[in-house]
């Protein structure tokens, strides 16, 4: 704290605020070149005001009372200034004004300030796509605040349990004006999780003194993970698509089916990621962009064939990647067309390819779940176990076949006895 601050308190009137010759007295607090002016609950006759001394002229009858009041104001403000100095606080005129008027002197932070701070500090650790999700949540919060509170910002300390429940209700009832689908239950929960990360950050920064999510319960609905059966996978592999763009999208999708790569990891794939393993075979070695977890995947023959097909593609060579760039949105749009052509009823997205690798390609072929978890770059094996639960249907189907084999053979019916008595020949 600087000890050479210039501090002063003086009083004035504003002649442009005069009414019927009466004016309000204003206090002026100055620290260095910073100052604040605010009205006091005292009015005087402008003709009785002594501008040079900042008070009433001494010969005016009410001068003693008024000037004594002003000295008391000066003394009170000066006392606050001296106490704040002793406390080692950073002092400004606004703070002294708040102290004198009995306002909340604690520094307050708005939600927008908190989210800006989060983006600044998390940009190095989070991917652009993840930060984009936070931006979407922020837009929903601003829309909610506009509808509910007629503003676009709120103090972090004002976010409480009711705010959270009201925001949840808003998200569930929100009807997008564009082509987007309404937010489902799990989508609502994701927005609330991002808000909770904001309030947790505020709590750690001591911007708030309690967790507004303490009594809130997140409610997720279990969603069946979609993946392709072996027959559906082979149908996509064998079909001759007329469009070159559909052939490219099919190749990307199949490569993910046989490697388990996410779309962003596939797009970032470079020649240096293809290495020779200790077994002499080709492997993919990379760090997943989402979790930064190391991923080592042996390249299966179908994946290797696709890799060789795009190895010298001019578009990818220019970018330094293995595959030519395309947006995930465009890929998913074309995959819907692929599903329609082949009569596949499932909603095809790039995520289905990754799930197919975990189920149809690996777990269904008795690859240990620990191995699958490592190849998919999961930080917890619990995540991989979701796919194992999906395969319970396969276990049921396999056991049904076994049951048929183990069924006892039906007993043959016993020969029916004849009621006709045998004819005895007479011996002559």
426 domain residue, yes or no: no
Which residues does the chain have with pLDDT short of 70?
1-4, 104-107, 178-180, 223-224, 389-395, 397, 411-428
- The answer on 115 and 97 residing in a single domain is no
Residues 383 and 280 grouped into a single domain? yes
Sort strands 274-276 and 282-287 into parallel, antiparallel or unpaired. Answer: antiparallel
- Give pLDDT, residue 306: 94
The reply to whether 257 falls in a domain is yes
CB 163 within 8 A of CB 212: yes
248/389 same-domain check: yes
Residue 361, CA distances (Å) to 276, 336, 414 in order:
22, 22, 51
For 6, the 3-state DSSP assignment is coil
Same domain, 380 and 241: yes
Contact 37, 93 (CB under 8 A): no
Looking at 77, 101, 125, which one is the last position of a domain? Answer: 101
> Would residue 75 count as lying in a domain?
yes
> Domain of 286: which CATH number?
1.10.443.10
Within a domain: residue 28?
yes
pLDDT, position 387: 75
Domain span at 86: 7-101
Picking from 262, 310, 252, 308, the residue whose alpha carbon sits closest to that of residue 288 is 262
- The shares of helix, strand and coil residues in the chain, as percent rounded to the nearest 5, are 50, 10, 35
Q: Give pLDDT, residue 2.
A: 44
The tally of domains found in the chain comes to 3
Supply φ then ψ for residue 62, to 5 degrees.
-90, 10
In a domain, 211, yes or no: no
Note whether residue 410 is domain-resident: no
**pLDDT for res 320:** 86
DSSP 335-389: HHHHHHHHT--S---HHHHHHHIIIIIIGGGT--HHHHHHHHT-SSHHHHHHHHH
**Can you give the pTM of this predicted structure?**
0.57
Residues ≥6 apart with Cβ < 8 Å to 316 = 310, 322, 323, 324, 325
Two tokens at 243?
Answer: 């469009």
* Same domain? 119 vs 170: yes
In a domain, 397, yes or no: yes
Do 245 and 364 belong together in one domain? yes
Q: Are residues 339 and 298 in the same domain?
A: yes
Q: Are residues 129 and 153 in the same domain?
A: yes
pLDDT at res. 409: 73
Q: What pLDDT, on a 0 to 100 scale, did the predictor assign at position 197? A: 94
User: Is residue 339 within 8 Å of residue 348, measured between CB atoms?
Assistant: yes
Distance CA 232, CA 18 (A): 86
Q: Are the C-beta atoms of residues 155 and 112 closer than 8 Å to each other?
A: no
Query: Do 381 and 253 have their domain in common?
Result: yes
- Structure confidence at residue 356 (pLDDT): 93
Residues 257 and 183 in one domain: no
412 belongs to a structural domain: no
Q: Is 333 in the same domain as 300?
A: yes
Q: What is the structure's pLDDT at 95?
A: 84
Q: Do 351 and 257 lie in a common domain? A: yes
């Amino acid at each position: 704290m600087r000890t050479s601050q210039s501090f002063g308190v003086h009083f004035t009137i504003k002649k442009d605020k005069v009414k019927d010759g009466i004016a309000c007295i204003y206090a002026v607090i100055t620290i260095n070149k910073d100052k604040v002016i605010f009205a006091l609950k005292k009015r005087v006759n402008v003709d009785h005001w002594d501008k040079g001394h900042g008070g009433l002229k001494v010969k005016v009858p009410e001068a003693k009372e008024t000037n004594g009041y002003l000295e008391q104001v000066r003394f009170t403000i000066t006392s606050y200034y001296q106490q704040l100095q002793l406390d080692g606080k950073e002092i400004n005129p606004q703070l002294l004004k708040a102290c004198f008027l009995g306002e909340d002197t604690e520094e307050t932070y708005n939600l927008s300030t908190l989210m800006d701070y989060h983006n600044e500090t998390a940009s190095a650790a989070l991917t652009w796509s993840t930060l984009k999700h936070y931006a979407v949540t922020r837009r929903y919060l601003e829309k909610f605040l506009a509808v509910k509170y007629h503003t676009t910002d709120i103090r972090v300390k004002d976010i409480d349990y009711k705010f959270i429940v009201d925001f949840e209700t808003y998200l569930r009832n929100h009807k997008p004006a564009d082509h987007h689908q309404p937010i489902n239950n799990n989508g609502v929960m994701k927005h609330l999780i991002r808000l909770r990360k904001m309030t947790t950050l505020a709590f750690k920064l001591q911007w708030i003194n309690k967790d507004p999510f303490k009594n809130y319960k997140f409610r997720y609905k279990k969603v069946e993970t979609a993946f392709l059966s072996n027959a559906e996978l082979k149908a996509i592999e064998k079909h001759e698509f007329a469009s070159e763009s559909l052939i490219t999208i099919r190749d990307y999708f199949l490569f993910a089916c046989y490697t388990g790569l996410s779309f962003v990891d596939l797009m970032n794939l470079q020649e240096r990621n293809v290495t020779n393993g200790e077994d002499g075979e080709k492997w993919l070695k990379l760090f997943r962009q989402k979790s930064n977890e190391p991923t080592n995947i042996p390249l299966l023959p179908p994946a290797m064939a696709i890799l060789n097909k795009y190895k010298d593609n001019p578009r990818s060579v220019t970018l330094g990647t293995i595959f030519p760039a395309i947006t995930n949105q465009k890929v998913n749009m074309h995959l819907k067309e692929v599903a329609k052509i082949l009569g596949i009823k499932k909603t095809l997205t790039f995520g289905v390819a990754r799930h197919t690798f975990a189920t149809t390609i690996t777990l269904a072929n008795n690859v240990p779940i620990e191995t699958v978890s490592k190849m998919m770059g999961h930080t917890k094996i619990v995540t991989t176990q979701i796919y194992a639960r999906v395969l319970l249907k396969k276990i049921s189907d396999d056991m049904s076949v076994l049951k048929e084999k183990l069924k006892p053979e039906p007993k043959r019916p016993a020969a029916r006895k004849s009621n006709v008595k045998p004819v005895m020949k007479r011996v002559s």
